[in-house]
Structure 1
Amino acid sequence: MPRLILLIIFFLISLLAIFRAPQYYLWLLAIMVTEYPLIFVAITSALTAWGYWLTPYRVAGNWVGIIAIVLFLSPIIRAWIVGNDLQKDMATAFTGNGSPAVFPARTPFTFGGLLKTTKAVSHKTMIFAEYPDLKLDLDFYKSTISRPSGEGRNNAPCIIVIHGGSWSSGDSKQLPELNSYLATRGYNIAAINYRKAPKYQTPAPVQDIKQALTYLTKHAVELGIDTSKFILLGRSAGAQIALLAAYTLHDPRIKGVVDFYGPADMVWGYSLPSNPLIMDSRKVMRNYIGGSYDQVPDKFKACSPLEFVDDEAIPTLIIHGDNDVLVSPEHSRRLNQKLAQHNIRHYRLTLPWATHGFDYNLNGPGGQLSTYAVETFLNTIMQ
């Protein structure tokens, strides 16, 4: 009987690989279920095999265990399916509109990759902006690949990373694995901190990105930065900041933007709040924007990246999970549609099983595919 109860519990947990999490802590568990599936497969398999020596409820327990194992494996299977089409889809997206896609010398997803780890690259922290009551710093990861000698050729493009955290929390230390990985692929990384809500409101973080660009350009020689090639990359709230900066600063140094599950339509987003058991999204938005939509409708529109997509918008990579319970994937669908209307070079990677923060594990099903897409995007727009 204890075995059957445990298997039923793991079966219920396995449903998080298929359905959206209904509550905050279940959302955190969903990240583990979908991006560390082998752990849950191993535990459930051991419980199921235990039934070989037990007679009571053997058949029932075996069936429950087998179904749970299949559900735990489903993100891996679906990642393999998505990975098989990823090269073709990205090649199609970037054909006939600028340089063709440039793919990494590896496959988008491998089963063996689930067991790999990412080697950390050291970084140094430096202050890039000073305000009367606050100093902002960034973590700089220098490219580990030597560039050909010659004037300017030893400098690498720089990716400015903007962290998530509902515009009120988080910092530059968030999810550093991708920073290290991209540094080993020939890119400099500047993971920045920015002024946070509710004390600071939009457009303060965008202004902080301008400050970061100024600082990195000023110190480009010592840091080895190609000042003509900056890319913005943001997650969640940081993606909204990155997109808004990319589409409104009109800075020719910014060559592209990467959007990890960001809110692109703040007006629509306020009209359809997230599950209050997970996050009070309207309160989060009011703290960042300075009031409700009824109070400050113009500010909601002014911080909606989608509103600023036009024929001059820069190349964009959108990555979102269909099971995201904090930021609806509808944001990415709407942004994708607007970019297509204006014939902007872009690609949207949709992960059917993934939830918000899926890239916590760079080597998980979602982490492998998103990293491959990011690397392809960067290689392509940096030609």
Structure 2
Amino acid sequence: MIRVGFIWFLFLLSLLTVFKAPVYYLWLVSIVVTEFPWIFIVVTLFLLVWGIGVNKYQVAGAVPGLIALVLFCTPVARAYNVASSLKPKFEAVFGAGTTTPKARMLKEPFRFFKMLAGIGERLAVFTTLTYKASNNLTLDYYKTTGNKKKPCIIVIHGGSWSSGNSRQLPELNTHLIKMGYNIAAINYRLAPKYQSPAAVEDVRDAIIYLKNHSEALLIDTNNFVLLGRSAGGQIALEAAYTLKTTGIKAVISYYAPADMVWGYSVPANPLVLDSRKVMEDYLGGTYNSVPQHYAASSPILAVNKNSVPTLLIHGENDVLVAYEHSRRLDAKLQQLGVKHFLLTLPWATHGCDYTLNGPSGQLATYTVDRFINQVTK
């Protein structure tokens, strides 16, 4: 009976691989289920094998167990499906790349056994620097090896514009310095005390600081790439499309709100996130009271035919920021002829890159590597 109870529990969890999480805590669970699927595959297999030869409750355990096993395998199967066409699709837009040692490090987009390697890279050492003394804003600077100036990736954290910090999901920072890039993970002014466009202004000031200290930090000031997750992705996109600062070569957005006007009209499930309240705190009121703020902070309205190359990464099962945001921006970029790539992850939810070695993490990191290698050469 205990075995059957566990199997039914796993069956219910397996539904998160194909259906969107209905409440906040199940969203968190869905990240684990879809990005660590091998754990659930192994446990389900063990319980099914355990049930062989057990007559009591055999059907009650076998049927849901087999369905759960199939569903737990779907993120892996779909990751292989995305990986099979990822390289040619990317190269159709950005080319095959170079034969430099850095380029040769870019391996296959997805490998099953890499999922067993943990969350990601062992964290690198960084130095905390104050880039804006007036607001006591700091950045964590990760310097790559060598004595030559290298491109700098500016990482902008998520957190609904009101929380989070520069230490969020640092494994990618470590990976990127191994690929030969400097990393500046920044803190910025948070809502509701500070509202848009304060965070974008902070990105501008961080770039100014990094340029002014480029000799000591060994930064190639003609090669800045903005990278943001969630709310940080919106800030990165807006900064890349509106700042007149020279040296911004490209922007990378992980599951970011790109159309604030549309996003307010179609809010997230309130049992997961009160997205309208989040936007009101960041933009200073409802859409009816300050529509100009929503328009001004929408990357989809700021982008133009001269905008920098863009990489969008988004899961179709995102319950915090709808996949439709990236789909709409993808269509606008296509219309304008801006070089860009949308990596769609059909099984993935918000925060899907929590582990670099999960299905989403592997595919996203591979694409980020290829993208940065192309835009900074």
- Cα deviation digits, residues 42-64 of structure 1 (max 9, x gap): 22222222212532112331222
Aligned counterpart, 2:65: 65
**Deviation of the 1:362 alpha carbon:** 0.6
Residues 124-135 of structure 1: pairs in structure 2 closer than 5 A = 124-131=127-134, 134-135=135-136
TM-score by length of 2: 0.96
Aligned counterpart, 2:252: 258
**Deviation of the 1:40 alpha carbon:** 1.2
Aligned counterpart, 2:108: 107
| CA-based RMSD | 1.2
After TM superposition, the structure 1 stretch with the greater mean CA deviation from structure 2, 319-328 or 65-74, is 65-74
Whole-angstrom distance in 1 between the partners of 2:322 and 2:92? 26
Aligned counterpart, 2:299: 305
Aligned counterpart, 2:144: 143
Whole-angstrom distance in 1 between the partners of 2:326 and 2:89? 17
Aligned counterpart, 2:122: 119
Task: Please tell me whether the aligned partners of residues 155 and 185 of structure 2 are also in contact (alpha carbons under 8 angstroms).
Answer: yes
Task: Please tell me whether the aligned partners of residues 128 and 141 of structure 2 are also in contact (alpha carbons under 8 angstroms).
Answer: yes
TM-score by length of 1: 0.94
Task: Please tell me whether the aligned partners of residues 106 and 366 of structure 2 are also in contact (alpha carbons under 8 angstroms).
Answer: no
Whole-angstrom distance in 2 between the partners of 1:263 and 1:365? 23
Aligned counterpart, 2:2: 2
Whole-angstrom distance in 2 between the partners of 1:307 and 1:57? 58
Task: Please tell me whether the aligned partners of residues 90 and 101 of structure 1 are also in contact (alpha carbons under 8 angstroms).
Answer: no
After TM superposition, the structure 1 stretch with the greater mean CA deviation from structure 2, 279-288 or 39-48, is 39-48
After TM superposition, the structure 1 stretch with the greater mean CA deviation from structure 2, 69-78 or 58-67, is 58-67
Whole-angstrom distance in 2 between the partners of 1:331 and 1:250? 24
After TM superposition, the structure 1 stretch with the greater mean CA deviation from structure 2, 196-205 or 41-50, is 41-50
SS of the counterpart of 2:133? strand
Task: Please tell me whether the aligned partners of residues 35 and 364 of structure 1 are also in contact (alpha carbons under 8 angstroms).
Answer: yes
**Deviation of the 1:301 alpha carbon:** 0.3
Residues 69-218 of structure 1: pairs in structure 2 closer than 5 A = 69-95=69-95, 100-101=96-97, 104-116=105-117, 117-131=120-134, 134-144=135-145, 146=146, 154-218=148-212
**Deviation of the 1:208 alpha carbon:** 0.3
Aligned counterpart, 1:23: 23
Whole-angstrom distance in 1 between the partners of 2:52 and 2:259? 54
**Deviation of the 1:270 alpha carbon:** 0.3
- Cα deviation digits, residues 313-364 of structure 1 (max 9, x gap): 0000000000000000110011001111111110000000000000001100
Whole-angstrom distance in 2 between the partners of 1:172 and 1:48? 44
Whole-angstrom distance in 2 between the partners of 1:232 and 1:280? 27
List runs of 5+ in structure 1 lacking aligned partners: 148-153
SS of the counterpart of 2:152? strand
Aligned counterpart, 1:150: none
Whole-angstrom distance in 2 between the partners of 1:266 and 1:334? 11
Task: Please tell me whether the aligned partners of residues 4 and 57 of structure 1 are also in contact (alpha carbons under 8 angstroms).
Answer: yes
- Cα deviation digits, residues 251-294 of structure 1 (max 9, x gap): 23000000000000000000000000000000000000000000
Whole-angstrom distance in 1 between the partners of 2:140 and 2:126? 6
Whole-angstrom distance in 2 between the partners of 1:164 and 1:322? 19
SS of the counterpart of 1:168? coil
After TM superposition, the structure 1 stretch with the greater mean CA deviation from structure 2, 338-347 or 41-50, is 41-50
Task: Please tell me whether the aligned partners of residues 310 and 339 of structure 2 are also in contact (alpha carbons under 8 angstroms).
Answer: yes
**Deviation of the 1:101 alpha carbon:** 4.1
- Cα deviation digits, residues 219-245 of structure 1 (max 9, x gap): 111111111110000000000000000
Whole-angstrom distance in 2 between the partners of 1:32 and 1:17? 10
After TM superposition, the structure 1 stretch with the greater mean CA deviation from structure 2, 29-38 or 60-69, is 60-69
List runs of 5+ in structure 2 lacking aligned partners: none
After TM superposition, the structure 1 stretch with the greater mean CA deviation from structure 2, 179-188 or 43-52, is 43-52
